[in-house]
Structure 1
């Protein structure tokens, strides 16, 4: 079975030779918005969960250690929450009308693989915290003011520009790695019952074969997420489910 999963992408005739237009990610978002409109209550339920999680994190403060911990938690839970939206789009593509309960079917079918994949992302987040702490402590002293001094203050403002840039740059590199291993991983797990390792390999293959389209998709995700953050996270109530649904359509294009 493993060999079957590992060849999921390569089994498509002519795969890797076709061209995906630069603007194609915008069409995936449009399709995701269409899916959201078909079952808005389901999408809003997922969007509210993510938004509330974000509010809780911001309520704790903005020390870099807390931010890294929050990113780690989201990377652990994100694929599981996103799986429900992807499963809903998968059901709609098959002519069904999903409910919140049926959106959880993919999670029930593939929980072990999704959990293992979540821990892959968690390892990347942990690497961000460890590497940034070691590098910054060795070159510039403490990474940031103490937790006691900055729990309720703006710790990022208290950091030097050099500390902030190095911390963000390390996170940016690892964010690229995270995207590369996850771009189609969750829908591949749900659609093909792939294992976590095969899903990661499938994502890396998709990025290698369609680097421009994947870069465009990453940019769209970053920009829309920034809009959500700029609205005190309230925008994520809609943006998160739209991106979740759009992930299914991105998978369909990147694997065909």
Structure 2
């Protein structure tokens, strides 16, 4: 059997997945309860712990780290290479790295699908990620992803504006000079405070519209607007616990990023699977 390069193999898998949205509703959602209107329930801290435990179990059952080993390193490598090649990008390093959390729910779709397939078949394989493209809701999913990408780009614009009015607009002379300006000047601390405040607003907004919407679009027939409205309802009914969930995600991503982003190979799949289990506890048939 000939060995193909990764690009050829990926194209072949997408061809197996067939055209976008090619599955019918009955094929993709065999569970009859899927057609019912979703109901949002109040959760407890036990549900948060159980969701994380479920994420760990799903991660342990399949080598999902392989997926993110292919995705995380090239992205981070490009960012770091860009910083090394052009120091004018240095002020955007933290906004880009932290902004990954804003688009994370979209890029975790494959992990949600893997957990969904495990519920249906009792088995899970990382090739299940390619089944997402056959979903009848793929266009709504892509629209939702476009919203998050738009918010990510808006966050970068806001972060650049904050830098311009505090330490900028001229680029830093060097890495040491930039670090010194950030932590030893009043303008640097103002930049940190404004950046954290703006980042928190973006993070809470994305959490509110996406914590349920992506899993819901995969789970049952629903519209783009209904998915967002159900997600907002979940946030209104569980504000403190979902904010706690957001904090857990942020801390986990930070810890996973410390050893040269190596920890993200484990953290990202676990959080993705756990989000599916949290959705199951938030939304009932």
Equivalent pair of 1:28/1:247 in contact (CA under 8 Å): yes
Equivalent pair of 1:91/1:98 in contact (CA under 8 Å): yes
CA deviation string 1:197-230 (max 9, x = no partner): 3222221111111112212211211121111011
Matched pairs, number: 239
TM-score (norm 1): 0.80
Is 1:82–2:108 an aligned residue pair? yes
Return the match for 2:53 from 1, 8, 30: 30
Q: Which residue of 2 aligns with 1:64?
A: 91
* Cα distance in 2 between the residues matched to 1:73 and 1:215: 18
User: Which region of structure 1 is more displaced relative to structure 2, 127-136 or 81-90?
Assistant: 127-136
Equivalent pair of 2:55/2:274 in contact (CA under 8 Å): yes
Equivalent pair of 1:229/1:236 in contact (CA under 8 Å): yes
* Cα distance in 2 between the residues matched to 1:133 and 1:51: 24
Q: Which residue of 2 aligns with 1:104?
A: 130
Q: Which residue of 2 aligns with 1:238?
A: 266
Q: Which residue of 1 aligns with 2:43?
A: 20
Displacement of 1:83 = 0.8
CA RMSD of aligned residues (A): 2.9
Q: Which residue of 1 aligns with 2:235?
A: 207
Q: Which residue of 2 aligns with 1:219?
A: 247
Q: Secondary structure at the match of 1:142?
A: coil
Return the match for 1:142 from 153, 168, 175: 168
Equivalent pair of 1:68/1:125 in contact (CA under 8 Å): no
* Cα distance in 2 between the residues matched to 1:74 and 1:223: 11
* Cα distance in 2 between the residues matched to 1:198 and 1:73: 25
Return the match for 1:48 from 69, 73, 83: 69
Equivalent pair of 1:88/1:98 in contact (CA under 8 Å): yes
TM-score (norm 2): 0.73
* Structure 1: gaps of 5 or more residues: none
* Structure 2: gaps of 5 or more residues: 1-33, 84-88, 183-187
Q: Which residue of 1 aligns with 2:218?
A: 190
CA deviation string 1:74-127 (max 9, x = no partner): 745x34431111101001112332323322212332432222111211222233
204 and 156 in structure 1: CA distance in 2 versus 1, 3 angstrom threshold:
farther
Q: Which residue of 1 aligns with 2:154?
A: 127
* Cα distance in 2 between the residues matched to 1:154 and 1:178: 33
Equivalent pair of 1:29/1:246 in contact (CA under 8 Å): yes
Displacement of 1:73 = 6.8
